[in-house]
Amino acid sequence: MRWNIPNILTILRLVAAPGVAIMFLYFSRPLADWFALILFVGAAVTDFFDGYLARLWKQESNFGRMLDPIADKAMVVIALLVITGVSGLNPWVLLPATVILFREVFVSGLREFLGDNASKLQVTKLAKWKTTAQMVAIATLFAQGIFEHYFFMRSFGMDQEIIAGIFAGTVEDIHSLNYLWNMANGTWVGGLVLLWLAGGLTLVTGVDYFIKALPFLKEPNT
């Protein structure tokens, strides 16, 4: 293993993956959402820079090529498990998350079975867009939890008439409840759209990898 900056960034991303879940064990919300969002976005940024710097400085290595996809999958899978849990197993989150998790397990098993031939299953541009959509969707849904919890914190103790008046514009909105409510709804819808888009791209790329692997799965002629 070479201890260079690209490999260190990849290792940090791998370590950050379980850290997203740990935030919800030791901190209450919305603080946990903030820490998880910052950790996830920071890790996602390293996903671009480790590969870019490795190519720029000619520091590409077998260790980096091995660990990079593992770190990506760990980060996405753990973050999806957290979001699915905090959403109360909401079916709008659970279904695309299940598709994404199934595909990652399936393709990983396929690559393991193919062994040396796995290198022939090159990562496509569509697969890169899939990863980008997954990361943006997850970050958006973490942000949704922040807005939602600040709304409930600031509206705590208010009766429904006051809240309705704030939404109607007849009561002064000194706690920015309108803004928080709109942002919570906007990030929820936006996050779900992106997650379903990511689920669709994940399914398509999974089928594509399977079709490319079919020639290597045929039984030898006897």
124-153: per-residue pLDDT in tens? 778 888 888 999 999 999 999 999 999 988
Look up residue 210 and give its DSSP letter.
H
Q: What is the mean pLDDT of residues 162-171?
A: 82
112 vs 208: CA distance, rounded Å: 17
17 vs 77: CA distance, rounded Å: 9
Residue bearing the bigger pLDDT, 188 or 11? 188
- Which pLDDT band holds residue 221 (cuts at 50, 70, 90)? low
The one-letter code for the residue type at 168 is A
The correct answer on CATH 1.10.443 for the domain covering 5-216 is no
Asked which of 18-32, 109-123, 135-149 is least confident by mean pLDDT, the reply is: 109-123
Phi then psi dihedrals of residue 76, to 5 deg: -70, -45
Q: What is the mean pLDDT of residues 47-59?
A: 71
pTM attached to this predicted model: 0.85
Q: What is the mean pLDDT of residues 50-55?
A: 70
Q: Is the Cβ–Cβ distance between 9 and 49 less than 8 Å?
A: yes
Q: Is the Cβ–Cβ distance between 65 and 48 less than 8 Å?
A: no
What pLDDT does 95 receive? Answer: 94
What pLDDT does 60 receive? Answer: 67
**Domain extents for the chain?**
5-216
Phi then psi dihedrals of residue 121, to 5 deg: -90, 80
Asked which of 52-56, 93-97, 131-135, 184-188 is least confident by mean pLDDT, the reply is: 52-56
- Which pLDDT band holds residue 61 (cuts at 50, 70, 90)? low
The mean pLDDT value of the chain amounts to 84
81 vs 35: CA distance, rounded Å: 16
